[in-house]
Amino acid sequence: QAVSFSIRHYCRKTPTKLRISEALSGAKLGENVKVQGWIRSVRRQKSNLFLHVNDGSSLQSLQIVAGSQLSDPLLTFGSAVEVTGVLKESPHQKQPFELEADQLHVAGECNPMDFPFKIKERHSLEYIRQFPHLRCRTNAFSSLLRIRSEATTAINSYFKENGFVQIHTPVITSNDCEGAGELFQVEVKNEEGENFFSVPAFLTVSGQLHLEVMSGAFTRVYTFGPTFRAENSQSRRHLAEFYMVEAEVSFTQSLEDLTKVMEDLFKSATEHVLAHCAEDVDLFHKHVTPGHRDTLDVMMKRRFLVITYSEAIDILSRSSQKFAFPTNWGCDLQTEHEKYLVKHCGNIPVFVTDYPYDLKPFYARDNQDNPAHTAAAVDLLVPGVGELCGGSLREERLDLLRARLEEYLDLRRFGSVPHGGFGLGFERYLQCILGVDNIKDVIPFPRFSNSCLL
Ligand code: 4AD
């Protein structure tokens, strides 16, 4: 008896720590709880103090009601607080629950005059981008980060459910997979002052070659990690450090084996995000990028289209639109072309296949039966962004490869089978589903030329 009394007594005295999302769903209703977070609004009214506190677990903040005796001048917009009290049903609020505080502790002060965000003001993405250390405190960017985290889970789940093995491909490598010369070199000397690796080493531009190695033992593999490109571009869809999802599939017969995976991955991950982050996605679609939900609904409902590069060139050449870059056969498709093609296709994502052989990296498979010299390569173009994925069947025929690259040959010597793969730019995927114009607004700490803040 004595023991059970002391346990009950202990439970009553020690408040249960709750995430604000849990408190908002009424977990521990009527019980003594503790929440911790940052103040989003303060209102002092006669004998009461009302606070809204957010801890990043939800878009919504929890209302705290306290007697004026707990009021403290340090309870300001932006400061960190710990609140203890009883979780109750709320009489007035849209929110069904609120916390009646009996203890308020300011854990971290914040002078609202110095804080770059103003209470109840909606700041633009461009404005908040100037504060990389603080933009996670805004509704839009905290929603973005929750969506980004959930999309990562969704992508991993898709691959797990479809029998892919995740491979941790290296960040430091000695190859330039894409051959585009956009490498960041890793220059470290050992104690003797010699090159640490003995060979030139770089940050990876793609995990493809390592995935290809693994696809010689596992029929389906993928990797999802940071990749680095020293592009000088200041564009709205290029970063120097971005996350890429790459998959490699063995025993492929045609590009269709790959386009099916790309479309299924896109739709399955997006369905998951829409189901698990509805409130956060709505914030974007209603307030940040209004009108984009209709575009996304079309992408989700319709089967993606397929056209060849030659058909794409035909569409562009017949268009009355003036393009800055040429549109004759053999030219690389530029962002302006890609965006036009997607519009032409009614804003339905479109796979463009069979590019001129010379436009694609050495590993792309030669379409030998085709009169025009093309490669079995495919790009997926999506509304607002243009190229989201790039992939190809890989050249597995030794004799054809020999001329192209000596180092690649050993990959093909031992039980080599037809295979193919693709890479999807994760930030461009987030831009695509949310309608965000600038890639710098969908990554926590963007890196691009002349900028490496924090
Ligand atoms: O088309 P890319 O260059 O393909 C490859 O790297 C292949 N090795 C992938 C593979 O087959 N395993 O890049 C793939 C995708 C692009 O479609 C684009 O979405 C994204 O990666 N991407 C970038 N995203 C942001 N910033 C950059 N600088 C990017 N470069 C490519």
pLDDT at 307: 98
Q: Average the pLDDT over 97-102 and give the result.
A: 96
Asked if 423 contacts 244 with a C-beta cutoff of 8 angstroms, the reply is: yes
> Does position 408 have pLDDT exceeding 80, yes or no?
no
From the number of C-beta atoms within 10 Å of its C-beta (0-12, 13-18, 19+), residue 216 rates as: middle
Q: What three-state secondary structure class fits 218?
A: coil
At 163 the pLDDT is 98
| pLDDT given at position 231 | 87
Mean pLDDT computed over 78-106: 92
**387 pocket-lining for ligand 1 (C-beta < 6 Å):** yes
How far away, in angstroms, is 246 Cα from ligand 1 center?
A: 9
Reported as a single tens digit per residue, the pLDDT across 264-300 is 999 999 999 999 999 999 999 999 999 999 999 999 9
Per-position DSSP letters for 139-183, written without gaps between them: HHHHHHHHHHHHHHHHHHHHHHHTTPEE----SEES--TT-S--P
Nearest to 307 by CA among 274, 337, 351, 341: 351
Which of 28-37, 66-75, 255-264, 341-350 is predicted with the least confidence, judged by mean pLDDT?
Answer: 66-75
Give the predicted TM-score (pTM) of the model: 0.93
Is the pLDDT at 381 greater than 80, yes or no? yes
Question: Which atom of ligand 1 lies closest to the CA of 233?
Answer: 28
State whether the beta carbon of 435 lies less than 6 angstroms from ligand 1: no
Rounded to whole angstroms, how far apart are CA atoms 350 and 31?
54
The answer to whether ipTM exceeds 0.90 is yes
pLDDT (average), residues 364-373: 86
409: confidence class by pLDDT, cuts 50, 70, 90: low
Query: Does residue 414 have a pLDDT over 80?
Result: no
Of 232 and 26, the structure prediction assigns the larger pLDDT to 26
* 13 exposure class (CB count in 10 Å sphere: 0-12, 13-18, 19+): exposed
Residue pair 448/234 in contact (Cβ under 8 Å)? The answer is yes
Greater model confidence, 95 or 309:
309
Taking the centre of ligand 1 as the mean of its atom positions, its distance from the CA of residue 173, in whole angstroms, is 17
Q: Which of 236, 242, 355 to mutate to test the pocket of ligand 1 (most atoms within 8 A of CB)?
A: 242
Model confidence band, residue 8 (pLDDT cutoffs 50, 70, 90):
very low
Question: Where do the DSSP E strands lie in 212-296?
Answer: 220-228, 241-250
For residue 403, the model assigns a pLDDT of: 62
pLDDT for 239 equals: 97
Single-letter residue type at 233: S
Q: What is the pLDDT of residues 428-443, one digit of tens each?
A: 999 999 999 999 999 9
E-state strands within 58-127: 62-67, 80-89, 97-108
Cβ(231) to ligand 1 under 6 A?
Answer: yes
Q: Is 423 in the pocket of ligand 1 (CB under 6 A)?
A: yes
**Residue to mutate, 236, 244, 381, ligand 1, most ligand atoms under 8 Å from C-beta:** 244
Q: Is the CB of 244 under 6 A from ligand 1?
A: yes
pLDDT digits (tens, 9 = 90+) for 241-253: 999 999 999 999 8
pLDDT digit string, tens, across residues 293-323? 999 999 999 999 999 999 999 999 999 999 9
State pLDDT tens for residues 226-238: 999 998 778 999 9
Q: What CA–CA distance (Å, rounded) separates 278 from 269?
A: 13
Q: Is the CB of 284 under 6 A from ligand 1?
A: no
User: Is 182's pLDDT higher than 50?
Assistant: yes
What residue spans define the domains of the chain? 2-108, 135-441
Give the CA distances from residue 214 to residues 154, 169, 273, 368, 452, in Å, rounded to whole numbers and listed in that order. 23, 10, 29, 27, 34
Label residue 163 left, alpha or beta by phi (over 0 means left) and psi (-120 to 50 means alpha): left
Probe target for ligand 1 pocket from 164, 239, 428, with the most ligand atoms within 8 Å of CB: 428
CATH class of the region 135-441: alpha beta
Percent share of the chain, pLDDT over 70: 95
Per-residue pLDDT reduced to its tens digit, 385-394: 999 999 999 9
**159 Cα: distance to centroid of ligand 1 (angstroms):** 19
pLDDT at 5: 46
Q: 96 pLDDT exceeds 60?
A: yes
User: Is ligand 1 within 6 A of the CB of residue 386?
Assistant: no
* pLDDT value at residue 10: 46
Predicted confidence band of residue 445 (pLDDT cuts 50, 70, 90): very high
Separation CA 89–CA 99 (nearest Å): 9
- Tell me which DSSP letter residue 205 carries: S
Question: Could you tell me which CATH class the domain 2-108 is placed in?
Answer: mainly beta
Q: What is the pLDDT of residue 4?
A: 47
pLDDT of 3 higher than 90: no
Q: Is 224 in the pocket of ligand 1 (CB under 6 A)?
A: no
Structure confidence at residue 416 (pLDDT): 82
Q: Give CA–CA dist 125/79, Å, rounded.
A: 22
Q: Which atom of ligand 1 is nearest to the CA of 229?
A: 28
Judge whether residue 395 has pLDDT over 90.
Answer: no
Give mean pLDDT, residues 340-360.
Answer: 96
Mean pLDDT for 329-357 is: 97
Question: Residue 6 above 70 pLDDT?
Answer: no
